[in-house]
């Protein structure tokens, strides 16, 4: 039973990591789209603002330069796409990790493998996952506490619905 609980906790954590990365990258990419839209609007305003005022292009160019310098000096405001791509890779990894854990769980439940073999395979998977967590912690800069609690709750609901078959009971 202890091994089964470890597998379940790992599945829940992997699912929570997937939800966390998905939410975080969506949020960061949304900020990047707003930034690009702002730059385009200010540039367009400066270009067409010349018809109304001679200094409009100077003002819009100054705003664009200021915002670009701020983005370069403070990259934590808008995370670089390269880091978001690494996080996308982590999300793929955790989806695969969850699949491996599900397969291990079903093999264990059907007594296809022994307790010892299950434990060894679980620790092998866990060893591979260890390095991924530090990358995850480094690149996911902040998650609000309420969002974190919501992610944990969603993950628990998912695990309960899929593995404890509580879906019918909730209706």
Q: Is residue 81 part of a domain?
A: yes
Q: Is residue 148 part of a domain?
A: yes
Q: Kindly report the CA angle at 102 between 124 and 92, in degrees rounded to 5?
A: 75
Tell me which residue range forms the domain holding 41.
Answer: 2-165
Q: Is residue 171 part of a domain?
A: no
Q: Is residue 105 part of a domain?
A: yes
CB atoms within 10 A of CB 98: 18
* Rounded CA Rg of the chain: 23
Tens digit of each residue's pLDDT (9 = 90 or more) over 69-94 = 887 777 767 888 899 999 999 999 99
Q: What's the structural domain count of the chain?
A: 1
Q: Is residue 69 part of a domain?
A: yes
For the chain, the straight-line distance linking the first and the last C-alpha, in angstroms and rounded, comes to 29
Helix, strand, or coil (residue 166): coil
Q: Is residue 117 part of a domain?
A: yes
Q: Is residue 160 part of a domain?
A: yes
Q: Please tell me the pTM assigned to this model.
A: 0.80
Q: Kindly report the CA angle at 71 between 66 and 73, in degrees rounded to 5?
A: 95
Q: What is the pLDDT of residue 96?
A: 94
Q: Is residue 170 part of a domain?
A: no
């Amino acid at each position: 039973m202890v091994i089964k609980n470890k597998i379940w906790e790992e599945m829940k954590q992997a699912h929570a990591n997937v939800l966390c990365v998905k939410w975080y990258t969506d949020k960061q990419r949304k900020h990047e789209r707003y930034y690009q839209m702002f730059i385009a609007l200010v540039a367009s305003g400066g270009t067409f603002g010349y018809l109304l005022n001679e200094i409009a292009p100077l003002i819009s160019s100054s705003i664009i330069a200021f915002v670009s310098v701020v983005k370069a000096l403070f990259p934590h405001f808008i995370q670089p796409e390269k880091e978001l791509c690494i996080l996308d890779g982590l999300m793929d990894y955790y989806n695969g990790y969850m699949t491996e854990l599900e397969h291990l769980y079903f093999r264990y439940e059907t007594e296809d493998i022994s307790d010892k073999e299950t434990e060894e395979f679980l620790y092998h998977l866990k060893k591979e996952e260890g390095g991924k967590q530090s990358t995850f912690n480094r690149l996911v800069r902040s998650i609000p506490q309420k969002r974190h609690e919501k992610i944990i709750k969603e993950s628990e609901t998912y695990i309960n619905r899929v593995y404890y078959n509580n879906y019918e009971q909730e209706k």
